[in-house]
């Protein structure tokens, strides 16, 4: 009886082994065995590879939302003439007017339309009698975009740097009255609340006060990198914004005023100096521009989100036709996610300032003026006209260097870190290496001489380090933008490109890596292949037989033990 039982077991073992051998895919046989089999039987029969599957159409945003408010057009508001801004999304011109006149001097109507508080930018007396105010009081708050909430797993006060991309961000923000979101029905941050922190403009010799009102939940300061300011101000308070050397940080709900009367003009930088390796990287940084003193120089004190300066200074108008502030910033998605994990400030602080190790970190997103491609095409295009000249003030606020490259143009560096270069050093170039926090003023001329430009067109400009042109490794993305001749812009401000369609770049799925990049060209070439269900079936069968094989083996073992 027992021997018979054992025999049965051996037979079953053999049967399952044989079944496993039969279903085992022949393409996985050892190399030598396959060679031998080929020499006996020749190649195996053709089995068609899986068909291409077509990705279902993903939701695509409108490339260029229309501008019902007429914000793009040139206009005069409260006597301030505001230049046109041709790309699709333009700054609120009422904000521009309020920044030029001061929120204390504009009409009530303009102030309301600007969305600013009445103390956001206060302009006082004309101290040198040259027709423009020299007492400037700027107020900044600290805002968090894409942060966490105790009632939702989705980010709150959202800001997309590219379709569907919402990294946690901190910015210095102008004082905006009312809600931080567009309305109660959405979590979208209001239009003027954006990355990067505003570019700030003051005049050489102005008596400037900057009050940082810390509306955030962490301590912060303001450090005026490169701008002429005292270590201690005239009231004896620390004025450098560095907790290690000059003053205590500003705690939540508190404020401090920084004072400066800059003697030198130039393109400078401002940033938080509390745990700067994290806070600067999170977005607490902006351009700080000191313009040369000129009569009647009513400056646009803030340029929200950087970009085209719509009310440029007198000195700019002497030598240029337009001016652009370009702010490059890279972001680490793992760092940004740390403000989205939970809602307890103690845990967030631990996560950002102890658990996060920047020496092991890498950057994933590359922004120009707060956005990555394709959103850069909505707001960061440089618009050229033949024969004109543009001044670019560029800062690399990111943690890595950038190799700024222009297609179709060679630009000239005129200033570095706010200091003029000698004429002999001003030679045209088309790649510029910019270290972290470095500023360059560039002369970009649209003079068709084969050097300065090769003629009108749609010419990209971007970081030529390859990853800078991607969004978390997906291209085209990153800080790609373009220098576009006015003739190449359509009515809405969108460049009339002649290459690929943009709809897939405006879908969140593309940057979530869900869309095969060339599928639309020829699906059978580039789409995703379907899965090999036959192979899958064989593997599952193999596993099934292997399972019974093990069960029989176990039964055999217990039988023998009993025996």
Partner 1 sequence: MINQKLWVILLSLIFMHQSHGLQHSMSEDYGSMVMSSNHNNLPLGCERISGEENIIVSAGQRYAKDIPGTIYGMNQHEWDVDPCTRVTVTFINEDDVRHQWMVHGLPKYLYPAGMFYIEAMGGKTATGTFIVPSEDRNYLVHCDMTQHMEMGMRGQLVVGEGSGDLWAVTGITDPFYRASYLPDNLIYLSLVVLFLGYSVTSWLVRMRQKR
Residues that bind partner 1 (CB under 8 A): 68-69, 71, 92, 109, 112-113, 115, 117-119, 141, 143-145, 147-153, 156-157, 175, 177-184, 189-191, 193, 213-217, 251-255, 342-347
Query: Distance between alpha carbon 113 and the CA centroid of its chain, in Å?
Result: 28
Give the residue with the Cβ less far from partner 1, 218 or 527. Answer: 218
Give the residue with the Cβ less far from partner 1, 132 or 141. Answer: 141
Nearest distance in Å: CB 117, partner 1 = 6
Nearest distance in Å: CB 356, partner 1 = 16
DSSP-based three-state secondary structure for 80: strand
CB atoms within 10 A of CB 454: 14
Tokens of 73: 């057009």
Nearest distance in Å: CB 92, partner 1 = 8
- Closest Cα partner for 402 from 459, 326, 468? 468
CA distance linking residue 220 with residue 211, whole number of Å: 12
Name 485's bridge partners. 384
Tokens of 156: 């709150």
Tokens of 88: 């699709």
Nearest distance in Å: CB 341, partner 1 = 8
DSSP-based three-state secondary structure for 422: coil
Nearest distance in Å: CB 298, partner 1 = 23
* Residue whose token pair is 């955030």: 216
Give the residue with the Cβ less far from partner 1, 120 or 390. Answer: 120
Give the residue with the Cβ less far from partner 1, 51 or 152. Answer: 152
Give the residue with the Cβ less far from partner 1, 111 or 394. Answer: 111
Give the residue with the Cβ less far from partner 1, 55 or 351. Answer: 351
Residues sharing a CB contact under 8 Å with residue 116, sequence separation 6 or more, in sequence order: 95, 98, 103, 174, 175, 176, 177
Tokens of 139: 């107020």
Residues in the chain: 563
Nearest distance in Å: CB 469, partner 1 = 31
User: To which H or E segment does residue 392 belong?
Assistant: strand 389-396
- Is residue 286 within 8 A of residue 195, CB to CB? The reply is no
Give the residue with the Cβ less far from partner 1, 90 or 484. Answer: 90
CA distance linking residue 421 with residue 424, whole number of Å: 8
Nearest distance in Å: CB 145, partner 1 = 7
CA distance linking residue 404 with residue 328, whole number of Å: 10
Nearest distance in Å: CB 561, partner 1 = 23
Phi, psi at 308, each rounded to 5°: -65, 135
Nearest distance in Å: CB 211, partner 1 = 9
CB atoms within 10 A of CB 281: 26
Phi, psi at 375, each rounded to 5°: -60, -25
Nearest distance in Å: CB 212, partner 1 = 10
Give the residue with the Cβ less far from partner 1, 66 or 319. Answer: 66
Give the residue with the Cβ less far from partner 1, 119 or 228. Answer: 119
Cα-based distances in Å from 507 to 54, 169, 501: 16, 22, 12
Give the residue with the Cβ less far from partner 1, 94 or 366. Answer: 94
């Amino acid at each position: 009886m027992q021997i018979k039982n054992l025999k049965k077991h051996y037979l079953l073992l053999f049967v399952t082994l044989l079944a496993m051998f039969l279903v085992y895919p022949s393409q996985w046989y050892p190399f030598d065995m396959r060679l031998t089999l080929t020499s006996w039987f020749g190649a195996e029969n053709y089995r068609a590879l899986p068909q291409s599957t077509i990705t279902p159409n993903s939701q695509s945003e409108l490339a260029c939302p229309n501008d019902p408010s007429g914000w793009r057009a040139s206009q005069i508001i409260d006597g301030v003439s505001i230049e046109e801004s041709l790309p699709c999304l333009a700054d609120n011109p009422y904000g521009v007017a309020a920044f030029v006149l001061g929120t204390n001097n504009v009409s009530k109507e303009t102030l309301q339309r600007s969305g600013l508080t009445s103390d956001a930018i206060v302009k006082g007396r004309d101290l040198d009698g040259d027709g423009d105010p020299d007492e400037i009081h700027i107020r900044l708050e600290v805002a968090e975009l894409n942060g966490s909430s105790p009632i939702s797993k989705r980010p709150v006060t959202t800001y997309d740097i590219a379709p569907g991309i919402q990294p946690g961000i901190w910015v210095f923000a102008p004082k905006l009255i009312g809600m931080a979101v567009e309305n109660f029905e959405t979590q979208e941050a209001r239009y003027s609340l954006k990355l990067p922190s505003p570019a700030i403009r003051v005049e050489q010799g102005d008596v400037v006060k900057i009050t940082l009102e810390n509306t955030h939940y962490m301590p912060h300061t303001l450090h005026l990198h490169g701008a002429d300011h005292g270590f201690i101000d005239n009231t004896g308070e620390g004025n450098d914004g560095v907790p290690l050397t000059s003053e205590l940080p500003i705690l939540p709900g508190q404020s401090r005023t920084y004072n400066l009367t800059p003697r030198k003009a130039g393109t400078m930088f401002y940033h938080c100096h509390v745990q700067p390796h994290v806070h600067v990287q999170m977005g607490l940084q902006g351009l700080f521009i000191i313009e040369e003193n000129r009569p009647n120089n009513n400056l646009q004190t803030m340029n929200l989100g950087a970009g085209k300066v719509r009310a440029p200074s007198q000195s700019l108008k002497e030598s240029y036709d337009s001016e652009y502030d370009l702010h490059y910033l890279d972001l680490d998605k793992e760092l940004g996610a740390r403000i989205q994990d939970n809602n307890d400030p103690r845990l967030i602080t631990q996560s950002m300032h102890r658990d996060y190790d920047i020496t092991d970190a890498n950057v994933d997103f590359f922004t120009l003026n707060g956005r990555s491609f394709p959103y850069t095409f909505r707001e960061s295009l440089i618009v050229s006209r033949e024969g004109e000249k543009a001044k670019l003030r560029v800062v690399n606020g990111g943690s890595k260097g950038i190799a700024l490259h222009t297609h179709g143009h060679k630009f000239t560096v005129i200033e570095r870190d706010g200091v003029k270069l000698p004429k002999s050093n001003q030679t045209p170039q088309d790649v510029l290496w910019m270290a972290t926090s470095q500023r360059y003023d560039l002369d970009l001329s649209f003079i068709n001489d084969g050097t300065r430009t090769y003629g009108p067109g749609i010419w990209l400009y971007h970081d030529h380090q390859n990853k800078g042109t991607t969004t978390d490794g997906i291209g085209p993305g990153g800080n790609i933008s373009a220098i576009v001749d006015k003739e190449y812009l359509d009515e809405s401000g969108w460049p009339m490109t002649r290459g690929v369609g943009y709809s897939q770049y405006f879908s969140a799925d593309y940057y979530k890596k869900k869309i095969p990049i060339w599928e639309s060209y020829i699906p059978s070439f580039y789409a995703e292949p379907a899965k090999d269900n036959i192979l899958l079936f064989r593997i599952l069968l193999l596993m099934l037989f292997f399972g019974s094989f093990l069960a029989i083996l176990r039964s055999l073992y217990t039988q023998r033990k009993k025996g």
